[in-house]
Amino acid sequence: MHLIDYLIILVYFIFIVAVAFYYSKRAGKSTDEFFLSGRNLPWYLAGLSMVATTFAADTPLAVTELVAKNGISGNWVWWNFVFGGLLTVFFFARLWRRAGIMTEAEFAEIRYSGKPAKFLRGFRAVYLGLFMNIIILGWVNKAMMSILQGMFNIPESTVIFYVFGCMLLVAVYSAISGLWGVVVTDAIQFVLAIGACIILAVLVLQSPEVGGISGLQQKLPSFVFDFFPHVSGDVESVTGVFALTVSSFLAYIGIQWWASWYPGSEPGGGGYVAQRMMSAKNEKHSLLAVLFFQIAHYGLRPWPWIIVGLASLVLYPELGQNEKGMGYIYAMRDFLPMGLKGLLVAAFFAAYMSTIATQLNWGTSYLINDFYRRFVQKSKDEKHYVFSSRVTTILLMIVSVVVTLFINRISGAWEFILECGAGLGLVLILRWFWWRINAWSEISAMITPFVMLPIVRYFGINFPDSMFVLVSTTTVVWLIVTFLTKPTDSEVLFSFYKKNHPGGILWKKISDQLPNVKSDSGFAIMFVNWILGIVLVYSLLFGIGNLILAKYYEAFLFLSVGTVSFGVVFYNLSKTNWETSSGIK
C-alpha cells in the first residue's frame, strides 16, 4: 500500500459520510422515511441495494474458497436459491408492496389474530432483528477481519479494533441517514465494488503466472471447469470434482431453496428483501426491483470472483483447505498496482459497509416497529421513534462486535442458520395463499428445528443430509398444530383478503364470501414466468461463463435461450394489470 492507496480509501470514507448527512434531514421526518424511504424507491435503486447487500466482504472469499476446493460447480451450494428467488419475483413481490406494512414481522398481525399473532410479531422481531441479525453481522465482521489481516498484516489480537472503528462509522451514517442514505450509498458502493473486482480478475488472468484463459485451462484439470456437480451413489470414488451423493444433491436442489429460511433468500421473500419491496414506488417497481436483483446476483456478478478463484489454484497451490479463501486477498496484494490496490481495498470496505448498513437498518426496524413501539412505548410521536431508532442502531452494532469474537468458522454460521430454519419455508409461502395457516403454524415451524437439531446431531446426521429429517419433522408438526388450533378470526381474514386479494383455490372459503373483491388471477402466467425466469438466470450465468472460457458455440446457445426467455417474460409483464395505489390505509 502506498500513499495514493490510502488517499483513495480516505476519499471514499469522506464521500460516504457526506451522503449520510445529505439525507439526514429527510430520514428524520418519520419512521416511514427512516425505514422505507417514504415508500418511493425506483426499481433500479431498490434492486441495486439488494445486490449490494448480498455482496458482503465475505462473498468473494467464500466463492474463491468454493471454487478452489470444488471447481466452478461448487457454487451450486448457493446457485440453487435461484428457484426460490424467482418465486418471490412473480408470486410475492406485488403482495408485499400491496400489504402496506413496515416490516415482515408486522405481517403477523394483519394476517393472524389474537394473542398468538401478537406473540409471533414480538418473537420474530427479537428472533430475526436481534438474534439472527447479530449472527449475520458477526460472520461479515469475521470476513472483514480476514481481509485486513491478509492485506495489512494486522495482528489477530488487534484487528477487531479496526473492524469496530469501521462498523462504528457504518452505524453512525446508517443512524443519521436512514434507508435513503443506505440505498444511495449501496448503489455507489456496488458499482465501485464490482468494477474493482472485474479489474482484479482481468489483471490476475493476464498475469504471466496464469497466462490467460488458455493458460488457466492448461494448468488446471478439466473437471475444475465443469458447471454441474457430479452426482453419484459413491462419492468417495470420485476425486477432485465437486461430488454429491444423490441425497445431498436432492437436499441442495430439491429442498433447501423452498424449505429453509436464509437471509436474502427467504421463501416467499422476507427480511431486507421484503423491506426493499415495501419501499418501492408501487407494485410494478417492487417486482422489477426483485427481478433485477435475481438476474444481477446470480447471472451477472459471480464470474469475476470465479476467475480469481480458479487463478488462485495456480498462484497459491500451497494454501491449505481452510485457507483457500485467502487466495483472493493474496491476489489483491500481489497483482494490483499502486492506486488500484487502494481502489479495491475501498471496494471491500464498500461491500462490507453496504451489508452492515442494511442489516443494521433492517434489524432496527424490527426492534423499534415490532417490539418497542408495539409493546413498550405505544403512543410517542415520530421524533421519539426516529431518535430511538438511531440509538438502537448504535447498540445493535456494539452487540454484533461482541458476537464476532465467538465466531470461528463462517461456513458453520450459514449451515447453522439453514438448519435452524429448516421446514419453515413452506409456511412462509403458504401463509399468503392458504387461509387455514394461523399464527400457531408459524410459531411451531420456527421452534421445531431448534428442538430437533440436538437430536439430529446426537445420531450423527450432518448438513446437508440433516435437512431431510428437519424439514419432514417440522412439516408434520406444523400441519398437526394447524389443524388442532383455531383458525384465524374471520374478520382478520376478510380484512387481509380485501386488502391483498392473493387469489387461488386455497382462499375459496373466504373469497366466496367476498364476491365484490376482485381476486388475483393469472397463476398460469405467473408459473410460466417463474420457469422462464429460472431459465433466463441460468442461461445468462452459463452463457457468460462459456464466453469467458472461449466456448463460443455453447455461449451462443445459452445466451440465445436466455434472450428468448427474457422476451417472453417481458411480453407477459407488459400485459399485466398493475395496481398503482399505495396499499396503505
Partners of 230 in the β-ladder:
243
- Residue 408: the pLDDT is 62
394 to 138, 144, 405: CA distances (angstroms): 15, 19, 18
What predicted TM-score, i.e. pTM, was given to this entire model?
0.89
| 450-494 pLDDT tens trace | 999 999 988 988 888 888 999 999 999 999 999 999 999 999 999
Q: From the CA atom positions of the chain, what is the Rg in Å?
A: 24
What b/e readout covers 87-114, taking b as 16+ CB neighbours within 10 angstroms?
bbbbbbbbbbbbbbbbbbbbbbbbbbbe
| 368-427 pLDDT tens trace | 999 999 999 988 988 999 999 999 999 998 888 888 877 665 445 567 778 888 899 999
Question: For 230-380, where are the E strands, in sequence order?
Answer: 230-231, 243-244
HSE-up (13 A, CA, CB side) for residue 574: 6
268 CA to centre of own chain: 13
Q: Tell me how far apart the alpha carbons of residues 369 and 274 are, in angstroms, rounded to a whole number.
A: 15
Q: Which three cell numbers stand for residue 410?
A: 463462517
Q: Tell me how far apart the alpha carbons of residues 109 and 120 are, in angstroms, rounded to a whole number.
A: 8
CB atoms closer than 10 angstroms to residue 293: 27
Regions of the chain where pLDDT drops below 50: 235-240, 410-411, 582-585
Q: What is the CATH number of domain 3-251+269-418?
A: 1.20.1730.10
Q: What is the DSSP string of 564-575?
A: HHHHHHHHHHHT
Q: Give the long-range contacts of residues 200-203, CB within 8 A, separation 24 or more.
A: 200/304, 200/308, 200/331, 200/332, 200/335, 200/336, 200/344, 201/303, 201/304, 201/305, 201/307, 201/308, 203/335, 203/336, 203/340
- Residue 420: the pLDDT is 85
Domain residue extents for the chain: 3-251+269-418, 539-585
